[in-house]
Structure 1
Amino acid sequence: MSPAGYSVGLHIRFAAPLVAESTYDPKWLDHYAVNAYALRDPLIAWGLSCEGAVRWSEIALPDPFDIWREAADFGLNFGVAVSCGSIQSRSIVGCARSDREFADQEIDKIATVVRTLHQITEPKTDLTQAQIQALRCIAGGDRHAAAAAKLGISESALKARLVSARERLMARTTSEAIQKAIEIRLL
């Protein structure tokens, strides 16, 4: 649906997405990062202030750093932005093509996918006190045996708490679960 690539930021909270992925040309991504364009990008500004879907060419915001023109130099000539969710947990996606504007039907399909991704990646914020304690011990530098002893449980019980916390937070690793718990202010 996005022949020249896409950039996804799901559940942007405290200025950082909980899930981020981009398939744009790596040279563009490097150029974008080196120039700190995320802080200046009209697509992101639009996405933080509006909900819905819009062609890039229809975003009527200033572009003093000429990001749109520079993106076109990397083959990102046409695009669509989709934004959904509350301002406390906003998802913003940009999709690009090099050959033509996106058709209305394509935009509708992309918007449906983005809304679905936003819904299914909604992080759980209701960890149990036991899960929070287990994450807090590991975040504080305790190894599994020390954390288990500190909490008065077996090491296997500690590991079970960490696994269930990872599952609820949709994290692949305990480190990622700790980071997500910090981001949503559980730790």
Structure 2
Amino acid sequence: MINQATGIEAIELGLSRLKRMCPSGFALGLHIRFASARIMIQTYDPRWIDRYTARGYMMCDPLISWGIGSTGCVRWSEMNHPDPHDILGQAMEFGCRYGVAISEGPTGSRSIGGFARGDREFTDAEMQALAATVKALHRDSTPRTDVTKGQRHALRTIAAGHRYAEAAVLLGISESALKARLKACRERLMARTTAEAIQRAQELHLL
């Protein structure tokens, strides 16, 4: 099993790889649960992102609809999903003329993405590379749940609003030991901050 510090680095490398393969950008939601992604990355033209968001297209996006009901990889031109708002047609205005949709993972925690370029269709080999990268990102962004009892107590105490010094006294440990436990929590839960670790621990019912 990879450690989570390495996992964060792997995610960054994977996202850099996707950027190189998608000249017109991409949007990728990792571990979507209850209509919300654990990690959301968008590199499309900001004007397209603004229009998409303002008009609430996420609720009727054919790529998302396809990804919820299917797994795998498909060219946009080969999809047979309703697009009443012509979302794919509008995307062409912003350089997203050709694209690929990819869906990975179980229904309860699925990763779905759209990947675009403006000059030509993605080749089969490029599609395979994109799918392999998304699969790796899905795997590497899965938070570990093997948080120890002591680490959970440290996180719970900070979540209750105590400062580090106060939390250490309450737990009967040194402040440096408290910080070490919180760091371990962040690494296991793939969080960059303690606040983010608290949120993820709550989502996973660890607190």
TM-score range for the pair, normalised by the shorter chain length: over 0.9
Does the 8 Å contact 1:14/1:183 carry over to 2?
no
- Over the residues paired in the alignment, what is the CA RMSD in angstroms? 1.4
**1:92-126 residue CA offsets vs partner (Å, 9 max, x unmatched):** 12110112221111111111111111122221022
**1:59-110 residue CA offsets vs partner (Å, 9 max, x unmatched):** 2111122211111111111110111111122111211011222111111111
Matched, 1:78 2:98: yes
Show structure 1 runs of 5+ residues with no match: none
Inter-partner Cα distance in structure 2 for 1:161 and 1:121: 21
Q: Percent sequence identity over matched residues?
A: 56
Counterpart of 1:126 (choices 129, 135, 146) is: 146
The match for 1:168 is 188
Offset, 1:163: 0.2
Q: How many residues are aligned here?
A: 187
Look up the SS of the partner of 2:108 in the other structure: coil
TM-score (norm 2): 0.85
Does the 8 Å contact 1:13/1:88 carry over to 2?
yes
Structure 1 letter corresponding to 2:94: F
Does 67-76 or 11-20 show the bigger shift?
11-20
1:38-53 equivalences under 5 Å are 38-53=58-73
Does the 8 Å contact 1:9/1:91 carry over to 2?
yes
The match for 2:18 is none
Structure having the larger proportion of residues in helix: 2
1:81-100 equivalences under 5 Å are 81-100=101-120
Offset, 1:166: 0.3
Query: Which consecutive aligned stretches of 4+ in structure 1 deviate over 4 angstroms post-superposition?
Result: none
The match for 2:199 is 179
Offset, 1:152: 2.1
**1:21-78 residue CA offsets vs partner (Å, 9 max, x unmatched):** 1111111111111112122211111111111001112221111222111111111111
TM-score (norm 1): 0.93
Structure 2 letter corresponding to 1:158: L
1:1-187 equivalences under 5 Å are 1-187=21-207
Structure 2 letter corresponding to 1:146: E
Structure 2 letter corresponding to 1:151: L
Look up the SS of the partner of 1:88 in the other structure: helix
Structure 2 letter corresponding to 1:137: T
Does the 8 Å contact 1:28/1:74 carry over to 2?
yes
